[in-house]
Structure 1
Amino acid sequence: MVDFYLIHDEQITPESPSDLEFIGNLDHKIFQNLKTKKIIDNNYDYYSDFRWNTPIIKQIFEHCIKQETQKDTDVEQLKQILSTAEHRKSGLIAFAD
């Protein structure tokens, strides 16, 4: 699983998510499906930690809407994570386990 946590853009990347708020996760199949659909850029790796700041979150969220994939369950799961981050005006950090 790739676990997503809220983190403010200006916050230093921690070694572990112990002090961060968990908001959701994606399994390998969903992550790969989202990459195939070009929702998640190919430079993000399922097995590596990565971070999305608020502008990237907004860009990915808008791309989800433009693709008109609202009925797509993979996209819906990602949109829930992105929506929470946008609502909280926060970035995201993903830790692979």
Structure 2
Amino acid sequence: MAKGLDFMAGLRLDYGGYPKAQFNQKLFDEMGIRTDNQIKSFVIQPRFQFEWNVNEGNKDFLKFGAEFSLQISIIIWSSIIWCLMVIIWQRWMLILHKLV
């Protein structure tokens, strides 16, 4: 990138599976709640890191990095994007209305 500046990017894939719970017949009969669910989770986490070797002296380093978890479902992401599009559209309409 630049002298003494390095960039690293990666992708972390996480899968978590948890044991299946026992079924509680009494709870199901009284409230209709199933307890024999098995939780599984697959998470994609992009990450990046910048590292600056100050003056390339190999003594002082400055590092900055972040990781993002994309565990939110597609439905939630599409709702967020839709809301942002509506907000942007409304702002543009206000701006255009003031110009006319």
TM-score (normalizing by structure 1): 0.19
TM-score (normalizing by structure 2): 0.18
The structure where strand makes up a greater share of residues is: 2
Structure possessing the higher relative contact order (Cα contacts under 8 Å, 6 or more residues apart): 1
